[in-house]
Amino acid sequence: MYSQAIPDRLILFDGQCALCHTWVRFVLRFDHAQRFRFTALQSPTGQQILDNHQLTRDHFDTFWYLEHGTLYSKSRAALRIIRQLPLPIKLLFMVAIIPTPMLDRLYDLLAQRRYALFGSKDLCALTESTHQDRFI
């Protein structure tokens, strides 16, 4: 399916989105077990995964999470990741009591305004971090 080995628990994010960079830094800070790997949607790996799942390669309005061959997006992706982080962060999983369609609508509203609210970043800002080995 993939031309290169794709690690499990891979978070795909918009490499130019400042909010996405904040999310990645948040996960890095609390992922003490180093479960997660990261790649920008604009990267060759990100583009390959989007192709393999027949998703658009140039519209990055959500981040994706690839776990055990299944690709999750929006609130489902975030909740699957949060559930694997340690306490007290794991307590954020309680938002799962809110119906997924409502969570996804809130996600979409924020995603539509993320550049205006948070700005954009250069992908290098993350890949030059001390966690460089966790980025693909």
* HSE of 36, CA atoms in CB hemisphere, 13 A: 27
Amino acid at 21: H
**Pairing status of strand 10-13 against strand 64-67:** antiparallel
Instruction: Measure Cα distances from 16 to 22, 54, 91 in Å.
Output: 11, 22, 29
d(CA 114, CA 6): 28
136 residues of the chain, pLDDT tens digit each: 444 578 899 999 988 888 888 899 999 999 999 999 999 999 999 999 999 988 888 777 888 999 999 999 999 999 999 999 999 988 888 888 889 899 889 878 887 877 677 677 665 556 556 788 899 8
Rounded-to-integer distance, Cα 66 and Cα 101, Å = 20
pTM: 0.84
